Amino acid sequence: MQKDHDVLILGSGTAGLSLALRLADHLRVAIVTKRSLADSASSWAQGGIAAVLDTTDSLEAHIQDTYIAGAGLCDPTATRFVVEHGKRAIEWLIERGVPFTREKQSAMGYHLTREGGHSHRRIIHAADATGAAVQATLTAQVCGHPNIEIFENHIGIDLILGSKIGDTSRGCLGAYVLDIENGRVVTIAARSTVLATGGAGKVYLYTTNPDVATGDGIAMAWRAGCRIANMEFIQFHPTCLYHPQAKSFLISEAVRGEGGILRLPDGTRFMPDHDSRAELAPRDIVARAIDFEMKKRGLDCVYLDISHKSTAWLRSHFPNIHARCLELGIDIAREPIPVVPAAHYTCGGIVTDLAARTDLAGLYCVGESACTGLHGANRLASNSLLECLVFGEAAAQDILAKPAGSLPELPAWDESRVTDADEEVVISHNWAELRRFMWDYVGIVRTTKRLQRARHRIRLLHREIDEFYSNFRVSNDLIELRNLVMTADLIVRCAMRRKESRGLHSSRDHPGLLPRPRNTILRPLKRRRY
């Protein structure tokens, strides 16, 4: 059965929901999300949204801060576009009712904080759970809108191109989507399709991302013939709690700011050997130092020690961290916290323009899946939600300006030649192998030999998964694994092409900078027929 909509949005983070609300008064919108609307990386964003909101700040200062973080690869036009539209994006959220933290002394009436890399206070926030506040506000309005149909517990399988109906002049016509609960594949036709599927943190063994961050949109776009850029730039957070029952729990950088000391298992402090600023060095330097010590000594983790502070002080300053660690049997007032760096943000992605358009007519991309040129080689803190909002508005304007057109009848998903899988264990084993070797070979610090080993392993996995995909009915786990392996391949290919160390890409074989910064752009040899 085919379902027709004006716009199909795959993903339910800030990018997808804000776009849906901008469109729904005029068009029929479908939102496809793998779990519930609330399950996205946006909900986990603790910090805030960067925008020039204070008279002591300036657009030029925000632009310059973004350039510095991006290590020479930020696109000037895209960066200025996002920064100039920042205030309007925040005002739109305020109009929608997002409960940002207020401050009477502020000219705007809201408290602005400052984060690493920013030269001014420009981060508007809702306490320490900004993403959750934005998501909750937008979700409530999306759920109540008569023109929005929500498909929870659904996952996109592949985009449907014009070639599927023998018309190569037509671009993207929608997508095949799996209903995870009953195993049926739904055909959703749309005049415009938007990928808002988030990043690919789950390609790594340790990540701060939710389980849904499996690179789905990036892989789907690549298979459909879109360019992918700068996938080598994966941002790692230095201190994620290392515990089997605490997936993705961050230990705030403020713990180091308040005197926390990084130690080896024997208690030896190691950060002064890596940087004169020791634990107060920037995030990427601390992450690389921890990675170095773990690889050199074969460690599973290192330890962050704040036990010289009293229990009362820790409860006052870090109530959530203190409580969560106690739940897991770790009293941080008496013992150090086991930590590892973790994949945090995908700076590269699907190449888009200022209207969020991809290389394929009718296909848009917004949010972490996209490579807009804003982040360059390293994302500036709190620019991510800003990018979601600004390009969500840009995509909405472009979609609304398109003339209405008819939707063709699309062929149903064909599973006549497949059977139910007989060994699901193959999927779980391949998933575990992929995440482990990506962490070991394509992590924070890379070498040519490690990348070559990863590429070889990925090719073997590709063959196994393609065979499995060709013979058995699709499942959520199979779709995610297929996309993760594809995304891992794109990361490795981009990393192998970059013969320097720039931003988030650190290579022992190429430690210097090339004189001219260049993007790493991958182009498919041909478009596959889906």
| Inter-CA distances, 193 with 2, 40, 66, Å | 15, 19, 30
Burial of residue 280 (CB within 10 Å: 0-12, 13-18, 19+) is: middle
Q: Per the structure block, which two tokens stand in for 11?
A: 């993903």
283 is a catalytic site residue: yes
Of 223, 283, 435, 498, the active-site residue reads: 283
Taking a C-beta distance cutoff of 8 angstroms, is the pair 486, 223 a contact?
A: yes
Beta 302-305 vs 261-263: how paired, if at all?
A: antiparallel
- Beta-bridge mates of residue 353: none
CA distance 304 to 298: 18
CA distance 139 to 137: 6
Kind plus residue range of the DSSP H or E element containing 446: strand 445-446
Q: Per the structure block, which two tokens stand in for 433?
A: 């192998």
Please, which residues have CB within 8 angstroms of residue 292's CB and are 6 or more apart in sequence? 274, 445
CA distance 71 to 514: 12
Burial of residue 477 (CB within 10 Å: 0-12, 13-18, 19+) is: middle
Taking a C-beta distance cutoff of 8 angstroms, is the pair 370, 68 a contact?
A: no
DSSP state of 109: S
List the one residue out of 349, 369, 346, 345 whose CA is nearest residue 229: 349
CA distance 358 to 135: 25
The answer for 68, left when phi > 0, alpha when psi is -120 to 50, beta otherwise, is alpha
Kind plus residue range of the DSSP H or E element containing 31: strand 29-32
CA distance 216 to 204: 15
Q: Per the structure block, which two tokens stand in for 288?
A: 């690389």
DSSP codes, 248-275:
T-B--HHHHHTT-EEE-TTS-B-GGGT-
DSSP codes, 321-385:
HHHHHHHTT--TTTSPEEEEEEEEEE--EEE--TT-B-SSTTEEE-GGGEE-SSSTTSPPTT-HH
DSSP codes, 174-201:
EEEEEETTT--EEEEEEEEEEE-----G
What is the edge-to-edge ordering of all strands in the sheet holding 49-50?
49-50, 123-124, 112-113
List the one residue out of 466, 371, 468 whose CA is nearest residue 418: 468
Kind plus residue range of the DSSP H or E element containing 155: strand 154-161
**Catalytically annotated residues:** 283
